[in-house]
Each structure stands twice: as C-alpha cells, then as structure tokens.
Amino acid sequence: MSEELKQEPGFGSSLALLDALGIGPVWVRRELAVEEVQGTAATQEALAPTPAAPVESPNVSAPQPVAAEAKAAVVTHARPSPPLPVAPAPAAAPVEQEGGPPSWLDDMDFGTALEPVLIPDGDEEQDAPSVDPLIARLKTMDWPQLKQQVAGCRRCGLCQGRKNTVFGVGDEKARWLFIGEGPGRNEDQQGEPFVGPAGKLLDNMLLSMGVKRGENAYIANIVKCRPTDDNGRDRPPSAQEVAACLPYLQRQIELIQPTVLVALGKTAAISLLGMDPATPVSRLRGTVHRYQDRPLVVTYHPAYLLRTLTDKSKAWADLCLAMSTYQAQSR
C-alpha cells in the first residue's frame, strides 16, 4: 500500500474494516467454506473476522495502484451505448437462492431473461419506438421530477411485479458513485438499494475506502425495479429492461457529476460500457475505463464476493485503483 494512501483520513479504521472484507493488512485471505456464507445468518458469519491463511494467488498479494498507473491504464469506450438485445443462450441460468440478483456469476446468461412488456398508459412514449421521447424530457429534469418519473415508470414489464421502485440513495452531490445491478427482494420491499447482506458488505467496502453511505457517496442500480423469474426468484435484467431503464441512471449521473464511478458486477459494467454481455468481470477489472468523460472502475458485485471469498482481495485491489484514480482527479 502506498504511503499516500496510509495518510488518507480513515486509514486506521480501514484496517479494521478490511477484516470485515476478509482481507488482512498483509493481503492474506480468510479461509471460509462457501456453505458458511449461504443465507442471511451465515452471511453475517462471512463478514466476521476469521483466522488468516496464506494467499493463494500471487498476483493479488500487493495491490499498490498509483495515480500514474491509473492514468496509464485508462481505456476510453466509444460511447456508453445502451446494450443491444442479445440472442438467447442455449443453457439456462443457474438457479439462485432468493434474496439477491444472480448475475454475480461471471457466466451470467442474459438469454433467459423475460421479454419486456410495454404497458399501455396513454403516454406518447410507446408510439415512437425509434426515438425515445423520454430521453429529451429527462435532460431537463431535476431531482424531484426524476424521482417522480421513476416512481411512476411503466417502460417495461418489471413494473408489474414491483412493490417499490428503487431510485438510489446518497449524497446527490457525491464524488463517488457506486452502481449495482438491480433491486433484490429486500430492496424491493424497502425501496432502497443494497439493504441486504450484500449491502452490508458494500457498506464495509465503502468504509474501507473512508467513504460512508450517504456521505460523498451515491448508490444506484442499472434497473430500478426488481427482476424476477417465473418462480419469483431474482434474475438479471434483460438487455431490453436495461435499455428501458438506463436513461434514468444517465440523468442521475448528469445531476450528480461524480468524480469516479464504480461498477459493481457484470451487469453494471457491461451496461455502462456498452460491452458484449459475454465479457467477464475478470477482463474488465484492473483498468480505468471511461463512462462519457468520467473514470469508471469495475469490481465484483458484493453478492458475488459473499460467495467467492477468494476474490475479495481482488476487489480490494479494485477499490485501491478507484481510490488512486479519485486522488488523481482531485489534484
């Protein structure tokens, strides 16, 4: 870790919080059986400090990003195009437990997602499939107008099953923006993003960076309504659902004007970067991408990290990259 980072406010508490992430200050991985993190009670266990074990992967032992490296690694994508619909994949997505979106699995299958349904509501938006009039209207919306628009949104079939829209939460002038996939059951019930076990881990990830939910940080999702399958289980949003919802996030980003965006997981990353859905997170992390003119760092989804403890140290390396990028932008 760089001396610069050690001087950062909150660094001392960061060490304690790294424990919650399962990472020791010398970058050792905590050994936990995967079964121990299944379910809410066990998830708490996963977040608690456990005895250290040697690092298995040599390339994650010392994440030491520096501003120069961060700058050198910047990749600019042509434009943040909304993802195009993709051809159905042959295999069904793995069945996930209820309570969290399943796309933290790197080999997520978009092809099994439900087709969106446009609900007739007398709005002119449905009559012009090639030009989306909402985009122009969103450009002029302030926070209250945008919130109201999202609360009443019927642009895709997800509105049918939702209890609440999940707009996003935090400091509306935050310099950090963390973007997840979409609400799960807890979030749908409470109307707030990342309130379940994955949210607890996200809060700890934020704290390890010296960032607190609601203070200089905003948390949002790619889609504002909970996607579920026919059995009521969480699933990733379809490409069409993402395309329908993304303009809201784009307006949120325009209003917030964050310094750094952190994409949590594959859905967030590929949706914002307009990339092939088959691109694994492992190929996107370690690089500073750009979303429009803002730096974007990709890391694993917290829910994935709860299940794949071996990747927590990589996530910490990603957060270090995000922090050094942030510092470089703040100079």
Question: Interface with ligand URA includes 170 (CB under 6 A)?
Answer: no
Minimum CB distance to ligand URA smaller for 23 or for 306: 306
- Smallest separation, CB 280 to ligand URA (Å): 17
Bridge partner list, 215: 212
Q: Would you give the end-to-end CA distance of the chain in angstroms?
A: 20
The backbone region for 273, taken as left when phi is positive above 0, alpha when psi lies in -120 to 50, beta otherwise, is alpha
**Considering only 150-158, 187-195, 286-294, 311-319, which stretch makes contact with ligand URA by CB under 6 A?**
187-195
Residue 79 CB: number of other CB atoms within 10 A? 10
**Considering only 38-46, 138-146, 191-199, 283-291, which stretch makes contact with ligand URA by CB under 6 A?**
191-199
Tokens of 291: 């979303």
Pick from 125, 187, 188, 318 the residue near ligand URA by CB under 6 A: 187
Question: Interface with ligand URA includes 198 (CB under 6 A)?
Answer: yes
- Smallest separation, CB 193 to ligand URA (Å): 3
Nearest-CB residue for ligand URA: 180
DSSP state for residue 205 in the 8-state scheme: H
Tokens of 121: 């509501």
* Cα torsion through 289, 291, 297, 298, rounded to 10: -100
**Considering only 20-28, 110-118, 190-198, 240-248, which stretch makes contact with ligand URA by CB under 6 A?**
190-198
Pick from 22, 183, 197, 258 the residue near ligand URA by CB under 6 A: 183
Pick from 22, 116, 168, 182 the residue near ligand URA by CB under 6 A: 182
Q: CB-side exposure of 236: number of CA atoms within 13 Å?
A: 29
Bridge partner list, 53: 29
Buried/exposed 124-138: b ≥16 CB within 10 Å, e otherwise? ebeeeeeebebeeeb
Sites for ligand URA among residues 299-328 (CB under 6 A): 303
Q: How far apart are CA 108 and CA 266, in angstroms?
A: 8
- Smallest separation, CB 268 to ligand URA (Å): 7
Pick from 14, 149, 204, 221 the residue near ligand URA by CB under 6 A: 221
- Smallest separation, CB 192 to ligand URA (Å): 8
| 76 three-state secondary structure | strand
Give the CA radius of gyration of the chain: 19
Minimum CB distance to ligand URA smaller for 100 or for 277: 100
Minimum CB distance to ligand URA smaller for 126 or for 189: 189
Q: Which residues bind ligand URA (CB under 6 A)?
A: 100-101, 166, 180-184, 187, 193-194, 198, 221, 303
